[in-house]
Structure 1
């Protein structure tokens, strides 16, 4: 009796499932929405509407993000971006990282007493070489012609670290952010390699892009 009372409280349903007979998908969903609203007093969640297509009934609507992943094709496969339609513009990027040495290693580097030699000079050259090899290290990066690479390393007495900054520049169809970040990363790894005999407790941290200029997206700077 209780179940009969519950069922009797609602008007009879014309149908529970919409079909394609005489209607496209959008019309069928709208009719179902109207029936649901007449029963429950409010329309169903709008998430059903996101699958409605403006084209053929069997083609779902896809929601595109304003910022899509350019290295992923429509089928989800990795791809190198075709930059042929782009115009050549001057592009620059600045990146940085920090290598925390600890006081003992810091003092050895400061006094230039590491067994492998001048840590900062070797790391500087390694960073420049790393920037030039970026496309060989990062699979989907374009092989571009760099017009300038700068790598600076400074000792920070406050936290016994090496501060590394790298800059890359080019005139072309794609940016040089990866080249700048590769430069500082390789420089940081070289500092570690030069010092690892004295300590394994060395940390390479805070690898980041600080600034970029040029290209379609224009100038950008980190807030940090």
Structure 2
């Protein structure tokens, strides 16, 4: 039987009642490619809609906290920390990373992935008038700690 289906083959949320409480951390990354002039305008604070990265930062934190409302089988969790970083990694590429933390019975991978995804979408929304051909991705989990599997790092070259 699939873990997210009940005995009637209908969707269910997995029961995590008996899992051990541990500190859990997940790190996810995404990228958004754009015209070099768009990235320069973001860096210089010259986009018409305002401070793109400040708004994307808040959007990412809010997204991490609302993940269970967006993804049907995701458990609501008590997020103890959510932080995003933005880095220019090429003249046309902005990388977004999110670190999300909790102390609980289920991980925060989906929260970290949701945070970087919504932050990237916010950058797109705030810059689309100047650069509608921006491309988001790849988006990926790069690290998780806590729980039964312990500490895992994932090869960033796969993206």
TM-score tier by shorter-chain length is over 0.9
Runs of 4+ off more than 4 Å: none
Match of 1:215 among 141, 147, 151: 147
| SS of alignment partner, residue 38 of structure 2 | helix
Match of 2:13 in 1: 80
Matches within 5 A, 1:4-153: 69-153=2-86
Contact 1:94 1:165 in 2 (8 A): yes
What is the TM-score when the length of structure 1 is the normalising length?
A: 0.66
Deviations along 1:28-66, whole A, 9 cap, x unmatched? Answer: xxxxxxxxxxxxxxxxxxxxxxxxxxxxxxxxxxxxxxx
What is the TM-score when the length of structure 2 is the normalising length?
A: 0.92
Match of 1:179 among 89, 111, 124: 111
Deviations along 1:89-126, whole A, 9 cap, x unmatched? Answer: 11110000001011221222122110100111110111
Structure 2 unaligned blocks of 5 or more: none
RMSD of Structure 2 on Structure 1 (CA) = 1.4
Contact 2:26 2:141 in 1 (8 A): yes
Contact 1:101 1:203 in 2 (8 A): yes
**Rg larger in structure:** 1
Inter-partner Cα distance in structure 2 for 1:127 and 1:134: 10
Higher strand share: 2
| SS of alignment partner, residue 56 of structure 2 | helix
Contact 1:100 1:159 in 2 (8 A): no
